[in-house]
Structure 1
Amino acid sequence: MAGGEETRKSTDSLAQESSIIDTFAPEARFECPICLAWLRDPVVTACGHRFCRGCIYSWLEREHACPVDNMKLDVEKDIFPDNFTRREISQQKARCPYIVRGCIEELSPLDVESHMIICKFRPPELPENEKLRCQFVDVGCTDKFEDEPELQRHLESEVTKHLSLLSQAYTKITISNQASTSAIAQQANFWDPPAKNEQVSTSEADEGVNALLRAMYEKIVVLEQKSREQDIIISNMSEQINSLNLSMSKMQLRHCNGCYLWYINDFKNKIKDMQKDHHLMFYSPGFYTSANGYKLCVRLNLSPRDPNYIAILIHMMKTEHDNTLEWPFSGRLSITVIHPIESYRNIKETMMTRPELEAFKRPVQDLNPRGFGYTEFVLVEDLKIQEFMRNNTLVIKVQAQPV
């Protein structure tokens, strides 16, 4: 029986120290991929990964390749000291895990484990006749056990009881409770199990639980406030980005020098809609022949004469500087339906304006109702057969050159 108690004592002591050390687990950039601990005497490989010097040297004696990406490595040529990371780790400071017991030492993370062994505030070893306590002792569970398997069976069978104890502890929180120590110390004191030979009263346990939960609640409130602030910032930035994108698109339309590419998305469904309603028309955004030049747009619809064809026409649009332009508009207009892969299949038509037509006179409305172009530009079926609609998008290029 003595042997069993000795095993129980050692196991419990190791578990306690392990839980404390885990709270000082390294960040990913300071963690050795081999030993999963803080980098000791860090080195960096030719493939850019960091390891403890001893870990990678031992590994390469067996494998001869990086354990992360399996790149072949030469110990003599591909391993370099990482002094920058060494300095960063040395600048990391942490208090001794036994701070709640009175130790005020500040250590490098690499020295924490060795310090814990010699720390005078380390909890004493359990007497051999001491029984194991339930891990929920701080919230009121007073059961004790002979060995680890018995404790494990208790934890598995008494889940409801432990949840009830936690709930009761939570309901005891009141605003009038005053924390006797700092929030960090309270939290550490709660999670650090007391020594087995120490007696913890119910009132002390309740006070510790209340202080911890109160500190956690305050942190949650602060985090929620920060989260809300971030949401507002992100929302404002999204609006600014959308506004900038809109401004950029308008600038592109104004400075395209009369050469505009119209990407008509979801083209097949647009054709179906126009086949159902022959009066349905689609218009491109307005574009300019120059920064302060003429403004035009493109119209797409099914031909009123033969709905098997699509019609493509160009309309003049009103601008704030029409009085500085010469009317009627005179120039060359080119319309090209772009093939997405083979440019020699492009369908292109060029025409000269006719000043006597209403379509080229100064617009009275935002959009001149009269258009000029081709009422039977191309068969819809030809567009499908010759695969003009890649990703269900048709591209029409229009060039307008005033003369």
Structure 2
Amino acid sequence: MQTQLADWARDTDLGRDAEEILRRCVHCGFCLATCPTYQILGDELDSPRGRIYQIKQVLEGAAPSFVTQQHLDRCLTCRNCETTCPSGVQYGALVDIGRQVVGERVQRPLRERVMREALRRLLGSRWFGLLYRVGGWVRPALPAALRAKVAPPRPAGQLPTDPGRHARQVLMLANCVQPAMMPSIDAATMRVLDAMGVGTRIAAGSGCCGAINFHLDAQEAGRAQMRANVDAWLPLLESGEVEALVVNASGCGGMIKDYAHHLKHDPAYAQRAARLMPYVQDIAEFLAPMAAELRARMRRAPGRSAFHPPCTLQHWQGLRAVTERLLSDLGFDLQSFGESHLCCGSAGTYSITQPVLSTSLRDRKLRAIESTLPGTIVSANIGCICHLQGGTDTPVRHWIEIVDEAFHD
């Protein structure tokens, strides 16, 4: 695609990055068939091809409007289009650029500004855990829409004692929402790793991966969190004190594996972020070489399950096959279902900022999954798990919880 960038964009890091991506797009339209919002709305402006064209227009000097911003907001950033694209267009990076330049030129309505600011400040604060626990206590009395956002309480159980006794050590995340919403996921991860002779720890000074800020109009605040995490993690990893950063939320893992991209123009952090990348592993990646030993330790097979592969696992990280192979090796009786490549509609805070589209995608996904009559729906991301659970009575769990329980049952 030929481009003629406006003077304000030409010869800037942002402009050069955008132009390189735009030149790859040949407008073939393959992405339309795999875009969730286009499948629902049927409007090409709500497809990757249409959004690429709108971003190109803005970078070439056209004035964006609130309507332009709405079309970009409706994108789930699932990156299904990247999996489909024969030209290798890095759409996710381009839509980040588009949202930034449009956000600098279009002021959101007051209601949206307040909601987005409240979300990014609340979800990353210590108050979130307290408010979420209160919501759990009064869950039956909450309105249906809000009740669907609050998962039923799930106890964490006993944590491993003295994880430092193991010769092998790994880092885990100080996730901003997962410990409050489902502490059982981190606890199960720690117990499984402990049983395999691997100790876990959280690095002092680390925190949220930055995704919430980055995708709620605060990209620089998100990058500040990325830098803090690089500072906290890299010395421990490069010294050999720990061998890997193991992530059990694919949304966080996808964002962390993009640190090198997001910080590539930062002279102080570009190389440091790139050096971090080889150490970052999804929990499935880390456990895959131990599959035979894991299976031998399990007292029962997990049973009939449907695996929902989060977009951040299958399209961002390309780990769907790795995870499904591991689950099969561990005895999960996985049921295939249609449209497993499409997003469930969770997408971080998307289920709050775009509730109608999000619910429609969730219900579509659940119809496909529940047609296989699974005993359990398993996934690999806290957001997808909570979102899907809000629309079904079938238990929705992180697969690591099922593995942990099979150790003891």
Identify the TM-score tier after normalising by the shorter chain. under 0.3
Higher helix share: 2
Specify which structure has the bigger relative contact order, considering alpha-carbon pairs within 8 angstroms and separated by 6 or more residues. Answer: 2
Give TM-score, length-normalised by structure 2: 0.19
Give TM-score, length-normalised by structure 1: 0.19
Q: Which has the larger radius of gyration?
A: 1
Higher strand share: 1
